[in-house]
Amino acid sequence: MRETVRAELEQEFARRRAENERVEAGRRREIAEGYPEIEALIRKREQLVFGTMRKILSRRAEEEDLPERMRELSQEIRRKLVESGLPENYLEPVCRCARCGDTGYVGEPVREMCGCMKEAMQALVRKENGLEVNERESFETFDASILSEELLPGDRISQKQLMLIIRKRCEDWANTYPAGRIRNLLLTGPSGLGKTFLMRSIARRLGERGIDVLLLSAYRMFQTARSAYMTNDEEPEALVGPEVLMIDDLGSEPLMQNVTVEQLFLVVNRRMELGKATVMSTNLQLNEFKQRYTERVASRMTDVVHSCVLTLKGPDLRDRERQA
Give the per-residue pLDDT at 225: 82
Residue 125 has pLDDT above 70, yes or no: no
pLDDT at 52 (0 to 100): 65
Q: Which residue has the higher pLDDT, 103 or 223?
A: 103
pLDDT at 133: 47
d(CA 276, CA 282): 20
Give whichever of 45-54, 127-136, 184-193 has the largest mean pLDDT: 184-193
Q: Are 104 and 13 in contact (CB under 8 A)?
A: yes
| pLDDT, mean of residues 268-287 | 94
pLDDT at 19: 95
Residue ranges per domain, the chain? 15-97, 135-323
CATH says 135-323 is which class?
alpha beta
59 pLDDT more than 60: no
Assign 201 a pLDDT band (cuts: 50, 70, 90).
very high
pLDDT digits (tens, 9 = 90+) for 219-246: 888 888 877 767 766 678 888 888 999 9
Which tens digits make up the pLDDT trace of 86-97? 999 999 999 999
Rounded distance, CA 7 to CA 311, Å? Answer: 39
